[in-house]
Amino acid sequence: MNLQHCVKESESGMRLDQLLSTLDEIISRAQAQRLLKSGNVLVNGKPELSPSRKVRAGQQISVTIQQPESTHVFPEKGELDILFEESYLVVINKAAGVVVHPSAGHASGTLVNYLLHHCQDLSGIGGVLRPGIVHRIDKDTSGVLLVAKTDEAHQHMSKQFKQHSVKRQYQALVWGVPEMKHGVVNAALGRHPVRRKDISIVENDDSEENDNKKGKSAVTHWRVLQSFEFAALLACRLETGRTHQIRVHLTSIGHPLIGDPQYGKSPLKRLSGISAELSKTITNFRRQALHAELLGFEHPISGEWLEFKAPFPDDYNILLKAIQHD
């Protein structure tokens, strides 16, 4: 596939990878950067490799998108909790502990492996290791996940995610009770400068010389659903879907997720005033207390609005009931 785009006045000054990611056929900024690095992008007929190159009005951009390679991920039989399925989409209630797609250290036993065994017709746009994957949730987060079966559906759904028109709501059990009943965290996120596996809040700087420090804009709306003596149940609605967004944003306002081993480590004093039984339940909950409760979107072909809700898994229910009855 070959794309042609003439830079508009309103797009002048944008980074090249940012501009490319706005095109319907390019599903993410990461894909745009891969296309640039592989020499598949021409600016005024000359190859351009730099993602941070600033574009100017009137420039002609040509992009070659090669057909996806045949997948080398092997189908595996595994348990899938399917909320909805038809010829274009499948909606899954992902169990905690399941990795979404193969990666270093996770060559098998992923949701993609199970899906390939189940339906065998996933979209190829996500690449060899991510067929059908429109968005992701963390390994130890449970809840609703959307997968595309066709390239057309994948492109339409990716556009909705880019335009932030998808409705995404999570429920989170956090340490402490917020003083306000609701609020918004608007803070850009990027890789931690030292702990490279961590995400942190960074200053959002678009200048080329500060490209390594630049964060991606991230907005989380939260409200208190239930308050307890030492914890709270929050509903979190995402405008953006950045890696570890809710986990980092809630930690930044002093309310880390219970059980989060990466961002939510809690001092022992938090457990000093509760019963031994509840303390044991919390200690035995070995993942972040985060559940992707609801996902709403327009069907990529019919335009019908669809919403899917996933019930709490057993471990989350046990933890919540223990806190409620303490």
Q: Note the pLDDT of residue 208.
A: 40
Spell out the domains of the chain, with CATH numbers in brackets: 2-64 (3.10.290.10), 82-162 (3.30.2350.10), 168-324 (3.30.2350.10)
- The question of whether 24 is a catalytic residue gets the answer no
Q: What percent of the chain has pLDDT over 70?
A: 89
Q: Note the pLDDT of residue 222.
A: 98
User: How far is the C-alpha of 159 from the C-alpha of 164, rounded, in Å?
Assistant: 9
User: How far is the C-alpha of 91 from the C-alpha of 212, rounded, in Å?
Assistant: 35
Strands 290-298, 142-148: parallel, antiparallel or unpaired by DSSP?
parallel
User: How far is the C-alpha of 321 from the C-alpha of 324, rounded, in Å?
Assistant: 5
Q: Note the pLDDT of residue 58.
A: 94
Residue 81 burial (CB count, 10 A): 13
Q: Note the pLDDT of residue 232.
A: 96
The structure tokens 């066709």 sit at 150
Find, among 274, 285, 276, 271, the residue nearest to 313 by Cα. Answer: 285
User: How far is the C-alpha of 273 from the C-alpha of 267, rounded, in Å?
Assistant: 12
Q: Note the pLDDT of residue 212.
A: 43
Q: Note the pLDDT of residue 36.
A: 92
Below-70 pLDDT ranges, the chain? 67-72, 104-105, 124-130, 196, 204-214, 265-272
Q: Is 4 helix (H, G, I), strand (E, B) or coil?
A: strand
Rounded to the nearest 10 degrees, what angle do helices 314-324 and 276-284 cross at?
A: 160
The predicted-structure confidence for 25-62, as pLDDT tens digits, reads as follows: 787 788 889 899 989 999 999 999 999 999 999 999 99
Q: Note the pLDDT of residue 206.
A: 46
Q: Note the pLDDT of residue 270.
A: 63
Catalytic residue, chosen from 138, 140, 260, 315, is: 138
